[in-house]
Amino acid sequence: MEQNEPLIYIDGEYCPKSEAKISVYDHGFLYGDGVFEGIRAYSGSVFKLREHIKRLYASARAIMINIPFAEEKMIEAVIDTLKKNRLVDAYIRLIVSRGVGDLGLDPRKCSKPTIIIITDRISLHQGKAKNEGLAAIISWVKRDPVDATTHEVKSLNYLNSILAKIEANSANVDEAICLNKQGFVCEGVAENIFTVTDGVIITPPTSTGALRGITRSVVIGIAKRLGFTVIKKEITPADLFLADEVFFTGTAAEVVPVKEINKRKIGAGKPGPITRRLMEEYSNLVSDPNEGVPIH
């Protein structure tokens, strides 16, 4: 055990990171059979924790995993894990897998779900990325359709995101943008996407297969409060290229501008005024303890 390594919650017990283990027969490991949430804590308050927990339970219900205790107890487990690790600013990864079964696919062989809570620090797309914007490509990897392992459900099936990220790495850019099978823009590899054209903010609907993002919803709420028009509609690759501004939203990334897509400069090639305003307002909101659940 290393000094000061984080404690991991696994099925009601805590163990150091270096000793945290699950069975190789867990269907989350064998088949990606499970759901998860990424959550942030800021200054001693877990931002939108209840909303994340509600979505976790909805995702589990969609793939027929029965979480064996109520949402409020899950909230308590997240808070207790943060307390044990003495974290007031943190990234939280909450995982519910189908549980331990056999080498077959039959979920009836899994007697109970495995529940894991990891609390740690993470930094994605900070500093230079937020000040200057990201470079992105449109990936050849298509999002799974809504009648398959759609990203509407936040499941452990993220292989097409991984493949798209590999493509972005190979192209030496920051991020990839995924289309759906019809060729419409869906989302980034782990973020929702927005465009701004003539002052109107547009984001793809979840019917494209995009996640119903918590940060997405928060940013839409902020934009409407500021008086901006927000439309959910299909976006084409050309709409991205011709937009005045493009930005990603996500729990880890928060609000991040995009300066370039497929070597095409977006707008002025730097974060636009509406994106900057939303970044500022989002930063103010996450620091409001009334928007989260207190750790202490």
Residue 4 is predicted with a pLDDT of: 81
Residue 124 pLDDT grade (very low, low, confident, very high; cuts 50, 70, 90): low
Per-residue pLDDT tens digits for 190-226: 999 999 999 999 999 999 999 999 999 999 999 999 9
Distance, CA of 216 to CA of 221 (rounded, Å) = 9
Beta bridge partners of 220: none
Q: What is the pLDDT of residue 128?
A: 84
Residue from 228, 237, 180 nearest 205 by CA: 180
CB atoms within 10 A of CB 105: 11
**What tokens were used for 231?**
């439309």
Instruction: Please tell me the chain's helix, strand, coil percentages from 3-state DSSP, rounded to the nearest 5.
Output: 30, 30, 40
Q: What is the mean pLDDT of the chain?
A: 95
- CATH for the stretch 7-120: 3.30.470.10
- By mean pLDDT, which of 91-95, 124-128, 227-231, 287-291 is the weakest? 124-128
Domains in the chain: boundaries: 7-120, 128-286
Confidence of residue 1 (pLDDT cuts 50, 70, 90): low
Mean pLDDT to the nearest integer, 69-93? 97
Q: Is the Cβ–Cβ distance between 245 and 196 less than 8 Å?
A: yes
Single-letter residue type at 75: I
Q: What is the pTM of this model?
A: 0.95
| CATH architecture of the domain with residue range 128-286 | Alpha-Beta Barrel (3.20)
pLDDT bracket for residue 296 (50, 70, 90): confident
Residue 143: CB atoms within 10 Å: 25
User: Would the CATH topology of 7-120 be identical to that of 128-286?
Assistant: no
250-285 pLDDT tens trace: 999 899 999 999 999 999 999 999 999 999 999 999
Which among 190, 191, 175 is positioned nearest to 139, based on CA atoms? 175
Q: Residues 6 or more apart from 117 whose CB is under 8 A from it?
A: 8, 9, 77, 78, 81, 92, 93, 94, 95
Task: Tell me which of 98 and 122 has the higher pLDDT.
Answer: 98
In the chain, the N- to C-terminal Cα span, in Å, equals: 27
